[in-house]
Structure formats: structure tokens, C-alpha cells
Amino acid sequence: MPIRLRKFLGTIALFILVIVWALVAMALAQSPAIHDSTPASIAYYVIAGIGWVLPAMPIVAWMSPRKKSDQNSETEKSDV
């Protein structure tokens, strides 16, 4: 897959991830257990604010260009 297409698809996937993550986080923030307790609210917003990075890391890794040695090993495998 060309790197430009890979980056385009990865960008779209990241946009979708962030939008869905934000909507779900806002919906969960309205639950009484989080909404009524200040410590729970602070902990929730810290976790929800940083938590989207974990599912985003594989997408970013997939988008990044591969090293020459990785590409050469893949072509050698396909030639066999």
C-alpha cells in the first residue's frame, strides 16, 4: 500500500477514534457516580483525556513509513 494512502486512511481512522471517544466520554461523564463526586470526576477526566492515546498508538504505528530493512524482508518473503 502506498504511504500516502496509508497516511490518509490512518488520519481518517484517528479522526473517527477521537470523535467517538469524545462522545462516549461525554455520555459517561453524566453518570451520577462521576457527576456528583469531585474526586471521581477529576480521576475520570484525567483517564478519559489521556486514554484515547492507547488505541491511537497502533494506528500511528501503522501509518508510519517502514524501514528499508523491513521492506526488503517482505519482498524476499513474497519472492519465495
| pTM of the predicted model over 0.85 | no
Domain ranges, ordered by start, for the chain: 3-63
CA distance 65 to 34: 41
* Contact of 48 with 29, CB cutoff 8 Å: yes
**Tens of pLDDT along 22-74?**
999 999 989 888 888 899 999 999 999 999 999 999 999 999 887 766 555 55
